[in-house]
Chain A
Amino acid sequence: MKGDAFTVGSIILLIALVGVFVFYPIISMFAGSFQDFDGSFNPDGFIRNIQDPAIWSLDCVIGGARCGVAWRTLFLAVMTASASTLLGLAFALVATRTGFPAKKGLRLLTVLPIITPPFVIGLALTMMLGRSGLVTGWIEALTGIELGRWLYGLTGIWIAQVLSFTPISFLVLIGVVEGVSPSMEEASQTLRAGRWRTFRKVSLPLMAPGLANAFLIGFIESMADFGNPLVLGGSHGVLSTEIFFAVVGAQTDPSRAAVLAIILLTFTLSAFMLQRVWLAGRNFATVTGKGDSGKHAALPGPLVALLYAIVVPWIIFTLAVYGMIIFGGFVTTWGLDHTLTLEHYARGFSVEWREGALAWTGVAWDSFWTTMEIALIAAPLTAAVGLLTAYLIVRQNFFGRNAFEFALMMSFAIPGTVIGISYIMAFNLPPIEMTGTALILIACFVFRNMPVGVRGGVAAMSQLDKSLDEASITLGAGSPRTIRRVILPLLRPAIMAALVYSFVRAITSISAVIFLVSAKYNMATAYIVGLVENGEYGIAIAYSSVLILVMITVIGGFQLLVGERRLRRENAVSRPAAKKRAQSSLEAKA
């Protein structure tokens, strides 16, 4: 498309935006670590912090008390990623290869982490297993052993993270497990390999890329997780919470925060690169054109028993944790007084009729409406920027396209805490000053959630035949018109998905947001964390359950809308052939 101002303009605008809102903050953070308070060059802070034994010490290997925070975080991330990948695999196998009775219910599980604010799991765990937790009480009453504070520290964070991220790895792995071609397994069995050998030598190796992907996501999510360590960490912080306390704590040390953020970023980006290198040049093609029976080989009996033994207790555990979230909002004081009450909801969300007007008297309304407002502004922007980028990547060929795509995907591996700290370092001073405004929150959400919109858009757009837009352009429409009249209508499901995802993420995210909120623009999650720090667990849990309810409503509404679209198409009688074909391929995906 030579000489198309819209395309060139979009590319340049996107590059400028990504430069200002992704790269400029990161570079400022690097620069900030080498600066004094007055901005002059001074590497002392960097050198002092990068050598700090509190970060790098390996004492625990040689029998000392504890290792440095960097190693602890790395260890935690590896443990979380391994456990959630294995559990996710167990769930995926149960959901696809066994006669488990409640498979539909299992799939519902995948929605949970999307709608749960990240620290809520940690909160519910404290209520079950903490010092005055419900289960702790039972065990102590039964055995008489004082359990104490075992939950607070890496163990507790690990349990909370595995609970939070297992559904994500389940979501990643279920497609991979389903995708393994039955014909390979059949071939193996025809050659007289047993079920066990078939599983071990054929099925499992074919799932390797999925396992690597699930591991990477678990690793990055664990590194980036801020809410659970904050609630459960106690004195055993991880990198993301240490960064936070280096900024807001008693000894404010921006250079230390920047150094810690750089270490965290190095870990996640290395994992990201390693995975790309490892997957490049390998072939795991399992979906072929050849016909097969469509029936997967049955799993060996003992393995099924093992899977059930893992999955069923874990489901019960997860349900108990979520039950705790609902239940916790209705009791007076957790662990002391379990009489049922609506007091927490009343304090948070009371409404009064005053002088002929509705007065929002509850303490939570202020942050609730701000959150809704900002999420509603950010969601369409995220979807627009994400889909425009996807369009440029899939449909246009321009210089540096691969680098552009890679830079965008890389921003996926930047932990929220790093984004938060880099945003305050970059946007607190001229030339661009945005701290304390709603704008910085919106920018943060748009550029943090954009990669997901891009991925969704790329996937959906690759399914649309290129001849559609070529036909439109041949007939004289410019590219803005082609996008509006041809591509956008066919992308409706992808648009809706991007909208809902960015809306929900704007409500639930905490790690970056906690640095960026101000008295005027407080967000729900930051407010809840404040409540937790003050020990007001009842109202914090009540607020969280309201948020979960709101998001279930939003996702339900979204599914209704998508359903409507499908209905209308079935009623249609005649349509141009090309459009029909593209839509049916879309339908096949949906």
Chain B
Amino acid sequence: MNAPAASALPARREGLWSKALHKFSRDRAGLISLVIVLLYTIVALGVWAGLWATEWADVTGTKWMPVSSEYWFGTNLIGQDIFQRTLYSTRTAFEVGLVVAVLATAVGALLGAVAGFFSGSWIDEIALWLMGVLDSIPFYLFVAAIAFALQDNPYAMHVAMISTFWTTVARLVRGEVIKLKSLEYVEAAHAIGVPEITIIFRHILPNTFHILLVQGTITFVAAIKSEVILSFLGLGVKDGMSWGLMIAESTLEVMAGFFNNFLAASVFLFVLVMAFNMFSDALQDALDPKKV
């Protein structure tokens, strides 16, 4: 490769983002999914601001009331409003998804970049070993272990997810950094004596941002799905409401032929995860320079 290619690199990156925006704006599935995700976000923000779903924990009706104008999704076994509980759980899902996605991506980016930058050295060896170790501990056991260690702290689940989900991000960033650091502009920065820490943060990490964005959405989905199963098993959300807890509640009701609770939680979960998966795909397509 020659000198012009190296100086052309930042320009190409800029092109990547404007091109991605252009491509994404033409992707109908991507746009629809983005709208759905935004709708869910509004619901979650409204719950957080106390605009709706304020009576999710109150017994306002009687057992298993059918769908009505007052109780849109009916009531559950003890007469609570299923609709309000479903909305409230959206907030829980977003809270878990966002916290885990942001922190796991940040930790992964940082450790991955450091491991990649020092690839071949003992720092890299240790990072790889740690990733291998964390990937080899069964997930549910790890959640339980952290819950033990944190003595049932409500954030034990978050910590456990962050501790396991960052490894995927780190491996990807590490690979990308190893690729990037051999490029001329990084070598040039090295040659003129830019400190390593500056090279990593100023020159290398920004160029892995597209990976982080896509991995962030994937981690978000994984966190929401795990939260539901963990809460169902009694290892996740303890005080509060979650689709997983609603499904746990509904297993008794389902056997008696009352499906509202189960359907409300499942459909809300499915639509959100589906929309996020499609959004993630569209993002990936838009950011893939190989696809014209």
A, B bound: no
Residues of chain B whose beta carbon lies under 8 Å from any beta carbon of chain A: none
Residues of chain A whose beta carbon lies under 8 Å from any beta carbon of chain B: none
